[in-house]
Homo-oligomer: A and B are copies of this chain.
Amino acid sequence: MMEGMPKKQDDALADFLCFSVYSLNHAFNRVYRPLLDGLDLTYPQYLVMQLLWAQDGRSVKEIGKELRLESNTLTPLLKRLQATGLIDRRRGKSDERVVRIFLTGSGEALHARAADVQSCLAAAIGLDTGELSRLSQVLDDLRDRLIGEAEKLTTDA
């Protein structure tokens, strides 16, 4: 309003942006859910399967680094995928602490059935390739900056 005091107003936008991301994330889940229901996968499970389809035999740690998740989230999730028969969990031979994740036959087979999830999503989003990649880039940069800030905050406290 006044020239001298726009700071309060501006700061509110930070909250708005966070809510935009929060509610957009929920919206994505709502689109993914009906698509993934047919595959008996949740969205985080789908993310893990995507990684494994790209490359097998990753450790829990490596998966966590890619998805920004910790073992306290991944271990139960991976056990559920194992229970449904999509993956195997094997202790590393050289290092017994490491658990490596391998696709089973049905885990690999699911890849084909997951083929149209991406195209449905792309259609629902309705942005062209350029906009998509630009937007992803902006969000990823912001994410990495925030993770840095979060570390500062928690280290200080």
Are B121 and A10 closer than 8 Å at their CB atoms?
Answer: no
Contact status of A146 and B27, CB under 8 A, knowing A17-B125, A17-B132, A122-B14: yes
Q: Mark A15-32, 1 if CB is under 8 A from B, else 0.
A: 111111111111110111
Contact-residue size bin, chain A (C-beta under 8 Å from the other chain): 35 or more
Are A153 and B34 closer than 8 Å at their CB atoms?
Answer: yes
Does A149 have its Cβ within 8 Å of any Cβ on chain B?
Answer: yes
Are A23 and B68 closer than 8 Å at their CB atoms?
Answer: yes
Closest-CB distance, A71 to chain B (whole angstroms): 15
Binding site for B on A (CB under 8 A): 6-7, 10-28, 30-35, 43, 47, 50, 67-68, 117-122, 124-127, 129, 132-133, 135-136, 138-140, 142-147, 149-150, 153-154, 157
